[in-house]
Structure 1
Amino acid sequence: MNQTANNLTKVCIDLPNHWWLKGESFWAKPLGGDLYELQNVPFCAYGLNFGDTVRAVSASPELKPEILEVVERSGNQTLRVSFAIEREQQAPCIEHLQALGAEVERANATFVALNVPPDVDIDALLDHLDEQEEQGVLHFETCEERVPGSFDDRPNDAEE
């Protein structure tokens, strides 16, 4: 198992139905047994959040442990934003989201994940994101579970 100086390790999930990536790995703090605390914001998975305690098991010592279930919710929520404007123009929106209490983790020039701690007014964040979406600045999604018992997106042929 790969560990860093901070005693973190990678855990993973397969996402065969996801629109962008077909799997995701997370930095996690080993808690003993098969339990881990997620230490980064998910960019693709649904139903997982920063700080959640998960159960993950490795099929063999050379493979990363795969997340099987959430054991305890952290209270954090995840939102994801895809900007329709250049990175240089995103600063005012990012700064406003941070002022409202969101923690921003960037994937690339146009895609960010937001961690929303439990003490933050998520309605104020959603209102701001709605306004920005109406202005054509961005698109966003909430990241609750999409398919019961899975961290994946719905299959392409699934109806809402």
Structure 2
Amino acid sequence: MKRSDADDRAGLVKVFFHIRVEDGWPPVGTESMWARPVSDDVVELDNVPFFARGVSCGDHVRVVRDDNGTLTAVEVVEWSQRCTVRVVPFRAGPLQGDRQRVLDEFAAVGVTGEGIEQYNIVALDVPPTADLSAVKRLLRDGAELGWWDYEESNIGDAWADAV
């Protein structure tokens, strides 16, 4: 795939996702993600989405290129089996909105992620090898303790089946 110099980060390209905003959420209508070209019209996502729904890091996504060379996602062609969960730590809660503390809590159960200061949100990347029951327990416990709220953005049957 051809890419501009601005998008040339170790062979990665930027892919844009158009997002439907409902009742003010999410706070953006477009999100860009880094991706690695797989073919002329398919890329593999290389980071965790903060707002795009139904996609996860590692997914293969079909893209279209507009006249300006901008790549826009149109469909997931292969799911990576990774789950995406978003966590919003409460500023007034025990974690005081600390995104790194959220990441530290989930590292203990084999989950990584990224935080974004502007919206005080953490996007968790849950690998298929993670103990999904432990991850779900931590999410529920943290919500009950007033640490955070969370949203399951992209999950599968194994996640739904985990207790």
TM range (shorter): 0.7 to 0.9
Secondary structure class of the residue paired with 2:117: coil
Deviation at 1:90, TM superposition (A): 5.7
Between 1 and 2, higher relative CO (CA 8 Å, sep ≥ 6) is seen in: 1
Q: What residue in structure 1 maps to residue 161 of structure 2?
A: none
TM value normalised by structure 1 = 0.82
- After superposition, where does 1:106-125 map in structure 2 within 5 Å? 106-108=115-117, 110-125=120-135
Alpha carbon RMSD of aligned pairs, Å? Answer: 1.8
> Are the aligned partners of 2:55 and 2:76 in contact in 1 as well (CA < 8 Å)?
yes
- Stretches of structure 1 that go unaligned for 5 or more consecutive residues are 146-160
Q: Which residue of 1 aligns with 2:150?
A: 140
Q: Provide the residue aligned with 2:158 in structure 1.
A: none
Counterparts of residues 6-155 of structure 1 (less than 5 Å): 6-17=10-21, 19=25, 20-60=27-67, 62-85=68-91, 86-88=96-98, 91=101, 93-108=102-117, 110-144=120-154
Distance in 2, Cα, partners of 1:42 & 1:30: 17
Counterparts of 2:98 and 2:77, CA distance in 1 = 40
**Percent identity of equivalent pairs:** 33
Kindly provide the CA deviation profile for residues 28-59 of structure 1, in whole angstroms up to 9, marking residues without a partner as x. Answer: 00112101000000000111000000100012
Structure 2 unaligned segments of length 5 or more: list them: 156-163
Number of residue pairs aligned between Structure 1 and Structure 2: 143
**Contact 1:83/1:90 (<8 A) preserved:** no
Using structure 2 for the length normalisation, give the TM-score.
0.81
Contact 1:80 1:140 in 2 (8 A): yes
Structure 1, 47-56 or 95-104: larger mean CA deviation: 95-104
